[in-house]
Amino acid sequence: MTEIKELSQFLALDVRLDVKALALQQTLGLTGTTDGRHLLINTPCIVKNLCQLLNDGQNSVAKDASLALINLSADEDVIPALLAEATNIVEHMLKIISNPEHNLADPACMVLSNLTRTKLGSEKVFQSMEGNLDKYIDIFCQEKYNKKGARLHYLASVLSNLSQLPAARSYILDPSRSCLQRLVSFTDYKDSICRRGAILGLIKNCCFETDHHEFLLSEAVDLLPKLLIPLAGPEEFDEEDNDKLPIDLQYLGEEKTREPDPDIRKMLLEALTQLCATKFGREYLRSKNTYVILRELHKWEKNENVLVVLEHLVNILIRFEHEISHDNLKEIEVPDEITEKFNALEPAL
């Protein structure tokens, strides 16, 4: 422990470059093992010093410091210590992400993505944003926000993790803020599976809020086409079926391809299934001929896990409302073992 304390003294901006670089290499090595991470996290000033080195004038030093923080934050056991007031790690990362001239914005997003995998981390990050989540959604939606080439794809994971908090969902679903309206455009984003997958995770979490189903399916958000387009293929429909589809799904063309990732296809179907929890959602999906898109997907789909969710969704849509006989499926009293299965799908940290 004494050696670690001595090591921390060399992790400072004003230390000679060669000494600082050597100390960082040793620190980075320690972050690769469980014992090493626990040694570091229990040493005062280590995390704080690493955060300060993110602004070192030598790029190699700043990059190694960022890698050490990514490794530390990937260990859930050390996250509570990382979030201690003295480290200010969350504030450091948010400041870097907000700076369009900082070349370590992507690693900063990765650190926050790791931290927000826990409830404690999500609460801390949401609190540190000081009710200004819009600011980070604005940054995320500007693909060339960072002038040093950072793409900020992992900011999507941060937003998705935050959406597991009821307070964050309320913020995102507030119609006066237009948060969700800006995010739904990324459901079919081709350049990053991380970006589109995480945003779909956020949307799925929001679909659990049954009181907001009418808003989600309204023209303001227009969520249904955003969920169906990635599931649609090049199939042509007759005029009657085609006219019932949302306008964005009519005449997609023979070059249209489906979402290639099975986990994302499953997430899309799970979001649609959540929208079917309310009578309004079920009737809206039926009125927009959702079934024909799902029918063609069923002919194409080979993944068993996706097929299970798909068949469950189709089973809901093809039933008559008098057979379902409940406005909100979540308000039905069901046996404990079934409740546990439903709860396993809920947004949780």
State mean pLDDT over 207-211: 96
Q: CB neighbours of 150 closer than 8 A, spacing ≥ 6?
A: 102, 103, 104, 105, 106, 109
Is pLDDT at 141 greater than 60 in this prediction? yes
Buried b or exposed e, range 103-130, using 16+ CB within 10 angstroms: bbbbbbbbbbbbbbbbeebbbbbbebbe
CB contact at 8 A, 105 and 97: yes
Q: CB neighbours of 30 closer than 8 A, spacing ≥ 6?
A: 4, 36, 37, 39, 40
Q: What whole-number distance in Å separates Cα of residue 152 and Cα of residue 163?
A: 18
Instruction: Quote the Cα angle for 304-308-314, to 5°.
Output: 135
Q: Which pLDDT value is given to residue 334?
A: 43
Alpha carbons within 13 A on the beta-carbon side of 288: 25
Q: Which pLDDT value is given to residue 337?
A: 56
**Mean pLDDT for all residues in the chain:** 91
State mean pLDDT over 7-13: 90
Q: Which pLDDT value is given to residue 323?
A: 63
Centroid of chain to Cα 7: 36
State mean pLDDT over 8-32: 93
Is pLDDT at 99 greater than 80 in this prediction? yes
Sign of CA dihedral 337, 343, 345, 349: negative
Which strand (E) or helix (H) includes residue 128?
helix 119-128
The angle that helices 17-30 and 34-41 make with each other, rounded to 10 degrees, is 120
Range in 90-94, 99-103, 215-219, 251-255 with the lowest mean pLDDT:
251-255
DSSP states along 225-265:
HHHHGGG--S----HHHHHHS-GGGSS--TT----S-HHHH
160-203 residue pLDDT tens? 999 999 999 999 999 999 999 999 999 999 999 999 999 999 99
**In a 10 Å sphere around its CB, with 0-12 CB exposed, 13-18 middle and 19+ buried, how is residue 180 labelled?**
buried
Q: Which pLDDT value is given to residue 130?
A: 85
Which strand (E) or helix (H) includes residue 97?
helix 89-98
Tell me, which fold does domain 1-87 have in CATH?
A: Leucine-rich Repeat Variant (1.25.10)
Q: What whole-number distance in Å separates Cα of residue 40 and Cα of residue 26?
A: 11
Instruction: Quote the Cα angle for 229-231-234, to 5°.
Output: 80
Question: Residue 278's beta-bridge partner residues?
Answer: 328
Q: Which CATH number, 3.40.50.300, 1.10.340.30, 2.30.30.40, 1.25.10.10, labels domain 88-208?
A: 1.25.10.10
User: Looking at residue 278, what DSSP letter applies?
Assistant: B
Tokens for 35, please give them: 């014992």
DSSP states along 5-70:
HHHHHT-STTS-HHHHHHHHHHHHHHTTSHHHHHHHHTSTTHHHHHHHHTT-SSHHHHHHHHHHHH
CB contact at 8 A, 241 and 288: no
Residue at token pair 């000494």: 19
Phi-psi region of 75 (alpha: psi -120 to 50; beta: other; left: phi over 0): beta
The pLDDT-based confidence of 332 (bands split at 50, 70, 90) is: very low
Is pLDDT at 328 greater than 70 in this prediction? no
What's the one-letter identity of residue 100? P
Greatest CA separation for the chain: 77
Q: Where in the chain is the domain with CATH 1.25.10.10?
A: 1-87, 88-208
